[in-house]
């Protein structure tokens, strides 16, 4: 049991708003200064005595929503108020969850000394998760506000380089359509609620991006392009890639890109396997 006095001082120092997580619903609690000392002590007793409650805490700093598990070293900044799914990811270990989603020990995994390119890095959970294994990680994200969070989240990892760019099938500026939820930003269509705003972003073929970043070969390429996966792969046709993982959720005008992605990868000599909504590709030795 962590002493209540120590926990109380921690919450007050951080100026954080506790989030109750029952495993099913998440409840926002006002800042502790509004609860008073008795209310705060009651909260702390509940937090430490009842399992699954008070797992994560959140505060807004410099325009970013910072979420962390109590007394845990890793925290994640988000460009807008995090969704319940994102909060649950932080509870269960965000980076570990993303690595599990995009890799397979049987088909395509990140190995020591690999060069990894994370296309659609969002706030960097996958990049952080593989940074301890890979030699170099390039986290590619188009949205300016999201890149601010990405840079904040990855600043302690010397082998992660944040890159504001859009992976595409040609080199030109592209209008990024912005969703209310930052995970819905897309060069094609906003899958969720559209904010009506757009942002001009430099877009590059993967070959051009590799030249800019001085990458000779990509050992592992992860792609989450919000429905634009075919365009990203068109821009990869002349590049050297050994392993690839592509999120093919139903985000291209409400349709999955899995079949088109598998066909394109097979044309390039990859063996493929689909795990839920992720298509994995690898080349035979």
Say which DSSP state 82 is in: P
C-alpha to C-alpha distance for 157 and 66, rounded to whole angstroms: 18
43-75 core/surface letters (b: 16 or more CB in 10 A; e: else): bbeebeeeeebbbbbbeeeeebbbbbbbeeeeb
Domains identified in the chain and CATH numbers: 4-92 (no CATH), 94-282 (3.40.50.150)
Instruction: Report the candidate in 21, 25, 34, 26 with the shortest Cα–Cα distance to residue 11.
Output: 34
Torsion over CA: 273, 278, 279, 283 (sign)? negative
Q: How many angstroms separate the CA atoms of 228 and 205, rounded? A: 13
Regions of the chain where pLDDT drops below 70: 1-35, 43-44, 46-54, 71, 285
pTM reported for the whole predicted model: 0.85
Q: Return the pLDDT at 25.
A: 45
Distance CA 14, CA 8 (A): 10
Q: What is the pLDDT of residue 271?
A: 96
The confidence score (pLDDT) of residue 217 equals 95
């Amino acid at each position: 049991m962590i002493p209540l006095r120590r926990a109380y001082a921690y919450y007050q120092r951080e100026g954080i708003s506790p989030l109750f997580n029952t495993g099913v619903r998440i409840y926002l609690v006002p800042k502790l200064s509004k609860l008073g000392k008795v209310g705060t002590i009651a909260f702390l007793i509940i937090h430490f005595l009842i399992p699954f409650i008070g797992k994560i805490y959140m505060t807004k700093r410099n325009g970013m929503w910072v979420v962390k598990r109590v007394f845990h070293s890793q925290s994640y900044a988000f460009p807008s108020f995090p969704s319940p799914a994102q909060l649950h990811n932080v509870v269960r270990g965000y980076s570990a969850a993303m690595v599990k989603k995009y890799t397979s020990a049987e088909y395509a995994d990140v190995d020591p000394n690999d060069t990894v390119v994370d296309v659609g890095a969002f706030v960097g959970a996958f990049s952080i998760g593989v940074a301890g294994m890979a030699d170099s990680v390039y986290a590619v994200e188009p949205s300016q506000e999201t890149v601010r969070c990405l840079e904040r989240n990855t600043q302690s990892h010397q082998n992660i380089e944040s890159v504001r760019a859009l992976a595409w099938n040609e080199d030109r500026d592209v209008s990024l359509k912005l969703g209310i939820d930052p995970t819905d930003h897309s060069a094609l269509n906003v899958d969720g609620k559209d904010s009506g705003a757009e942002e001009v972003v430099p877009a590059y073929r993967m070959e051009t991006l590799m030249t800019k970043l001085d990458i000779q070969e990509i050992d592992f390429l992860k792609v989450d392009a919000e429905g634009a996966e075919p365009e990203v792969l068109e821009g990869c046709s002349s590049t050297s890639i050994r392993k690839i993982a592509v999120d093919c959720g139903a985000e291209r005008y409400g349709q999955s890109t899995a079949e088109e992605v598998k066909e394109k990868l097979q044309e390039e000599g990859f063996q493929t396997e689909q795990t839920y909504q992720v298509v994995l590709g690898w080349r035979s030795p």
